[in-house]
Amino acid sequence: MGALLVSSFGPVLAASSSSTIIIGTTGAVTPKTFNVMQSTQTYYVSSIWQGLVGWSSNGTAIPQLADWWKISPDGLTYTFNLRNGLKWSDGQPLTSADVLFSVNATATQSSFWAVGIYGPLLVANAAYPSGEALASGAVTAPNSTEVVFHLSQVSAPFFLNAGGWEIIPQHIYAGFDWNTQNPDMTKVVGSGAFIPASFTSGVQLTEAANQYYYLGAPKLSQEILQFFSDSPSAELALESGQINVLQDVPPTDAGALSKVPGISLATQEDQSMVYFIFNMGSKLDDNSTNPVANVMVRQAIAEATNMNSILNSSLGAGHYILANQIEVPNMLYLGLSTQNSSIPTPAYAFNATAAGLLLDKAGYPLVSGHRFTINMISPTNGFGSAGTGASLKILQLFQSELAAVGITLNLVLLDPGTFSSQMFNGQPLTWSISVQTISESPDGDVGPFYIVGGIGGNAGAGGWNSGGYNNTVVNGLLKQEQTTTDAAARAAILRQIDSIAYQQLPVLPVYYNIELIAYDSNYQGFHFGLGDPEYDYWGDLKPSSISQVSFVGSGSTTSTTSIMSTTSSSTSIGSTTSTTSITSTPPTTSSSTSSSSSYTLIALIGTIAAVAIVSGVVAIGIAKSHRHHTFPDSMPSA
């Protein structure tokens, strides 16, 4: 590939050839390490080393390295069968021995992921870095393609936790110490569509096509991820033809980019939500009263805010979905929506008069145009996909509307490190309101657990429920849904949690993200939408999508603005019909392509551990933890 060029907007690559695609991305997802046992940047590690199963945009499980699986009626035995003829990128066979090796490596070496991924298989063992070990007989391999997991207890989220976790090659990493070493990026062997060949931190990641990729060799021979510190410089690179794709474009820039010849725009709805979280503590760190600890004050703040107008003014119509509850619209558990349809949109109708009456009732009368003053913290680099400017405008309009009912809101903008420290410092806090972003995929319990759950130490310092909401009914429902294997019953529990959160308002949902991707129209074949169980970053392209992309020729298309379908073209496996258990019969012979009519899943498919970037993630519920990501604003150091 050509040498790096230096321009006024930083280092970029020379224009790519027809066999290469250069993808621009911002610092929000720039990798820091490719250590699968320690990394929180799972977008990259899961594209290098893939899992047994994937998931589709309609919420069903799809084959990845495994072509079929079955789950016992009691929910304690999971059997996965690998595709025939799987190979690593170096041509060596990928077998069940690699799966056993990967499970054991994660269980014993990853203090970050062991319990969250394989909790029902583990026993405590202080001899290993993770403090855990696999229970005797927990994982077996009857032959070179079959792997069997034997759980100690029923775990509804286990399927995609374990099924979606990365499988690594035993012949490369046997004896590798993941706690003291990181993979050599010039010698990586993986199973994804593209395999890293070189990496310069903060500059670029170059990846070569994997000729042994299980879906077939990619149409392009190389992809390059180019990292930019800001969106304007990345947009200039796209317009000049020095990159071919730009992920996560700020919505405020859509109009200008749509007018650039040869550039197409696409949108995709991911599973992330921006929300305001309330401090539930009665006192602040200076021992003053915290008004938002009163539910009537929280309700008044919601009613005093015309959120739809704020977002339309800041992001523009079509670049957001007004949020009304914790569960995101496309959170489809086995094809079933987990959203509570009884909650209106907007959840709290804009009514400044009613808000004022609530504040009076709460003991905060209007005196000389003022009721009380509170602080709201926010990161200086913005939140969600809004971009810095749009994020600030949202907060300023929110500030203005609260001022109209007598509430003085001080906006405290903090650098990301300081923001994280203050956000997750624990009670008493310096702030009454903060802003966060959560992504849940693909299991519905991630959102409510992190936002309103109080089990496992999640409420307060060290947990994403930094406001400290702790409701025994909600906590009980969270534990119940984690062991509920009936799909409809589990979705109903999640809807009940949403209803309680709607009434008690520990958080104010703001908007669900719609991501914008800009790309050179000469490249076609993208499949936008939800991706791999191990990541769902804003605006990112799935490895399975890039493998299908080809260069169709200069000038073959014109610039358009389009809404891309998120319908998966992969074979889906799962059922939208609720059942307690479904007997699964695997095919007598396996192949790299499987028919969903040959077998079905029991309704036990559980959560992906959504990416948690909190230091020292705690085990919750039934010996498991969740993962999620908040980029780039609320990212505690890991």
pLDDT averaged over every residue in the chain: 81
Interval 548-559: pLDDT, tens: 899 998 644 333
Query: Omega before 93 cis (within 30°)?
Result: no
DSSP character for 235?
A: H
How far is residue 578 from each of residues 309, 333, 433, 486, 508, measured CA to CA in Å? 39, 11, 39, 6, 31
Q: What is the CATH number of domain 58-172+569-598?
A: 3.90.76.10
Instruction: Return the residue matching tokens 């855990």.
Output: 132
- The C-alpha angle 108, 110, 114, rounded to 5 degrees, equals 75
Interval 517-533: pLDDT, tens: 899 999 998 877 655 44
Evaluate whether 440 touches 610 at the Cβ level (below 8 Å).
yes
Give the lowest-confidence range in 205-209, 406-410, 458-462: 458-462
Return the closest-CA partner of residue 48 out of 174, 158, 206, 161.
206
* Whole-number pLDDT of residue 595: 30
Band (42; pLDDT cuts 50, 70, 90): low
Instruction: Return the residue matching tokens 């599973």.
Output: 271
* Whole-number pLDDT of residue 84: 95
Which one is predicted more confidently, 184 or 631? Answer: 184
Q: How many residues does the chain have?
A: 638
pLDDT exceeds 50 at position 357: yes
pLDDT exceeds 90 at position 132: yes
* Whole-number pLDDT of residue 40: 62
pLDDT exceeds 90 at position 348: yes
CATH superfamily of 4-31+179-267+516-563: Periplasmic binding protein-like II (3.40.190.10)
Interval 416-458: pLDDT, tens: 899 999 998 889 999 999 999 988 766 788 889 989 999 988 8
Please report, to the nearest 10 degrees, the dihedral formed by the alpha carbons of residues 511, 274, 291, 468 taken in order. Answer: 130
Question: For the residues 300-305, what does the mean pLDDT come to?
Answer: 98
* Whole-number pLDDT of residue 541: 64
**Region for residue 363 given its phi and psi (left: phi exceeds 0; alpha: psi -120 to 50; beta: otherwise):** left
Q: Give percent of the chain above pLDDT 90.
A: 55
pLDDT exceeds 70 at position 363: yes
Which one is predicted more confidently, 387 or 124? Answer: 124
pLDDT exceeds 60 at position 602: no
The most confident of the ranges 153-157, 407-411, 557-561 is 407-411
- CATH 3.10.105.10 residue window(s) in the chain: 270-513
Interval 82-100: pLDDT, tens: 999 999 999 999 999 999 9
**Kind plus residue range of the DSSP H or E element containing 48:** helix 42-48
Question: For the residues 111-135, what does the mean pLDDT come to?
Answer: 93
* Whole-number pLDDT of residue 212: 97
Give the lowest-confidence range in 47-61, 446-460, 537-551: 537-551
* Whole-number pLDDT of residue 543: 62
Question: Is the CATH code 3.10.105.10 the one for domain 270-513?
Answer: yes
Band (637; pLDDT cuts 50, 70, 90): very low
Evaluate whether 57 touches 529 at the Cβ level (below 8 Å).
yes
pLDDT exceeds 60 at position 568: no
- CATH 3.40.190.10 residue window(s) in the chain: 4-31+179-267+516-563
Return the closest-CA partner of residue 397 out of 290, 467, 325, 312.
312
pTM: 0.78
Helices (H), 365-413: 388-403
* Whole-number pLDDT of residue 578: 28
Interval 195-207: pLDDT, tens: 999 988 888 899 9
Question: For the residues 462-482, what does the mean pLDDT come to?
Answer: 93
pLDDT exceeds 80 at position 596: no
How far is residue 419 from each of residues 229, 276, 395, 416, 514, measured CA to CA in Å? 19, 14, 15, 5, 25
Band (560; pLDDT cuts 50, 70, 90): very low
- CATH 3.90.76.10 residue window(s) in the chain: 58-172+569-598
Alpha carbon distance 145, 292 (integer Å): 56
Band (11; pLDDT cuts 50, 70, 90): very low
Interval 17-37: pLDDT, tens: 689 999 998 765 567 778 888
Question: For the residues 565-592, what does the mean pLDDT come to?
Answer: 30
* Whole-number pLDDT of residue 30: 65
Task: Return all residues near 209 (Cβ < 8 A) that are at least 6 apart.
Answer: 193, 194, 195, 217, 218, 220, 221, 222, 223
